[in-house]
Amino acid sequence: MKVEKNQIDFENLPTHIAIIMDGNGRWAQKHNKTRTEGHEAGSKTLENLTKEMDTLGIQYVTVYAFSTENWKRPKAEVDFLMGLLRQYLKRHIRQAKRDNIKIRIIGDRSMLAKDIQKQITVLEEITENKTGLGLQIALNYGGRDEIIRSMQKIGKDLLHKKVMVEEINESLFEKYLDTTLIPDPDLLIRTSGEIRLSNFLLWQLAYTELYFCEKYWPDFSMNDLYQAIYHFQQRKRRFGAL
């Protein structure tokens, strides 16, 4: 069923959309291109969509760009992805003045190259007070890794008596996660037909509505996003209640 833009209830958009941008490699294969060309195309899709989601008035988007498991890929592919990331950061630092997007990186950045870490800090700082779309980019991110890092931080605070064991509950735990201060995703979209989470936002997705789309990420368009939002809006969220 094809969904038109006017079928969307713009008063009730999901507050936070999480996206597993998958299928760059298969998109490339289908078009007789190299995997790197697939990643390039995928990064253009991200640029276009974030711009449009900002215009639409979506408050938060979290995208999975590089997982803790993606280091297992051939070095040349990892290097290419890191190069794309450098370009992305540079471009957004340059155009930050005219953009209204607030960018934050989640994941363990200590494993990334020093120059990338520096660029990330700059970009986060210069977009900190932006009032448009809040874009979280997950880099060297794994849900389990995030939970373990949070546990380590809590452990340190216990040792330094900043926190008492009795105080540990869900809301305290969330303060230690990378996504602190951001509401859990309402809708998760995964492209490319794979039906799994691949270690994405394991804690935060507890009650998220899941939407799987057959298209490869470079082909994902604003219309596909409307389709996902439309299906989301037909669902009844219950959170365990009646």
Contacts with Mg ion, residue ranges (CB under 5 A): 22
User: What does 198 interact with, of Mg ion, ligand IPE, none (CB < 5 to 8 A by kind)?
Assistant: ligand IPE
Q: Is 22 in the site for ligand IPE (CB under 6 A)?
A: yes
Among residues 15, 59, 117, 198, the one that binds ligand IPE under rule CB under 6 A: 198
**For this structure, is 70 an active site residue?**
yes
Is the separation of the CB atoms in 39 and 26 below 8 Å? no
The catalytic residue among 6, 9, 22, 140 is 22
Which of residues 80 and 176 has its CB atom nearest to Mg ion in the complex? 80
Is the separation of the CB atoms in 63 and 83 below 8 Å? no
Residue 183 carries which DSSP code? P
Shortest Å, Cβ 222 to ligand IPE = 19
Q: How far is CA 148 from the centre of its chain?
A: 19
Give the span between the Cα atoms of 26 and 33, in whole angstroms. 10
**For this structure, is 22 an active site residue?**
yes
Give the span between the Cα atoms of 228 and 198, in whole angstroms. 20
Q: Is 220 in the site for ligand IPE (CB under 6 A)?
A: no
Choices 122-130, 176-184, 192-200, 231-239; region in contact with ligand IPE by CB under 6 A: 192-200
Residue 22, both tokens: 């998958």
Q: Is 23 in the site for ligand IPE (CB under 6 A)?
A: yes
Give the span between the Cα atoms of 148 and 158, in whole angstroms. 15
Choices 22-30, 96-104, 158-166, 207-215; region in contact with ligand IPE by CB under 6 A: 22-30
Residue 206 carries which DSSP code? T
Q: Is 26 in the site for ligand IPE (CB under 6 A)?
A: yes
User: For the stretch 135-152, what's the b/e string if a residue is b when 16 or more beta carbons lie within 10 angstroms of its beta carbon?
Assistant: bbbbbbbbbebbeebbee
User: What does 65 interact with, of Mg ion, ligand IPE, none (CB < 5 to 8 A by kind)?
Assistant: ligand IPE
Which residue has the CB atom at the shortest distance from ligand IPE? 25
For every residue of 68-82, DSSP letters joined together read TTGGGS-HHHHHHHH
Shortest Å, Cβ 179 to ligand IPE = 16
User: What does 61 interact with, of Mg ion, ligand IPE, none (CB < 5 to 8 A by kind)?
Assistant: none
Residue 154, both tokens: 């809590």
Phi–psi pair at 140, nearest 5 degrees:
45, 50
Is the separation of the CB atoms in 204 and 179 below 8 Å? yes
Instruction: Provide the binding-site residues for ligand IPE, judged by CB under 6 A.
Output: 20-26, 64-67, 70, 81, 192, 194, 196, 198
> Any idea which residues carry the catalytic annotation?
22, 70
